[in-house]
């Protein structure tokens, strides 16, 4: 993989983080519930952190994103993607965020599978793990909230 290709992949990932940031920022503006606003604002900030991580990674000259394996609870596969409304419930808002992270994770996984270049594969897998880490954190929040509501 040449330098231009590598830079293009990271810039693509940065753009995805910006889109996720904008989604969460806009969601924070739209919802009425104070706790949801705060949650969406925190998620937006995390997306900005991911963006900075990727920009710093690009500047560092490293060729591989090294992220520890995280658990994948596969919770996202069991929930439907809710629509964002001003009256969205907290668990639905977290479910929506989980589904968004799952979609990003799946995109990078698919890109790694179709890539013919080993360096590209490693890069896409690193990006997938980054999204999986965020998804897992959101799944933890969802389980703690959803099951508390059931009890």
Q: What is the pLDDT of residues 10-62, one digit of tens each?
A: 899 999 999 999 988 998 998 888 888 898 899 899 999 989 988 988 888 77
Output the pTM of the full model: 0.76
Q: What is the pLDDT of residues 88-128, one digit of tens each?
A: 888 888 888 899 999 999 999 999 999 888 888 888 999 99
For residue 21, which phi and psi values (nearest 5 degrees)?
-55, -50
Looking at the predicted structure, is the pLDDT value of residue 151 above 50? no
Instruction: Give the single-character DSSP code of 84.
Output: P
Using CA atoms, how far apart are residues 8 and 95, in angstroms rounded to an integer?
A: 31
Q: What is the pLDDT of residues 77-87, one digit of tens each?
A: 667 787 888 88
Helix 90-114 crosses helix 3-30 at what angle (to 10 degrees)? 170
- Contact of 54 with 108, CB cutoff 8 Å: no
């Amino acid at each position: 993989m040449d330098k231009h290709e590598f830079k293009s992949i990271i810039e693509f990932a940065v753009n995805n983080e910006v889109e996720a940031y904008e989604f969460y920022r806009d969601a924070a503006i739209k919802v009425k519930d104070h706790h949801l606003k705060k949650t969406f604002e925190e998620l937006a900030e995390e997306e900005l952190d991911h963006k900075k991580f990727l920009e710093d990674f690009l500047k560092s000259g490293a060729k591989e994103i090294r992220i520890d394996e995280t658990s994948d609870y596969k919770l996202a596969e069991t929930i439907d993607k809710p629509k964002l409304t001003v009256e969205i419930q907290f668990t639905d808002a977290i479910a929506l965020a989980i589904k968004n992270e799952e979609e990003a994770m799946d995109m990078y996984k698919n890109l790694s599978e179709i890539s013919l270049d080993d360096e590209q594969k490693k890069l896409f897998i690193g990006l997938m793990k980054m999204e999986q880490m965020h998804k897992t954190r959101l799944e933890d929040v969802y389980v703690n909230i959803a099951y508390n509501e059931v009890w």
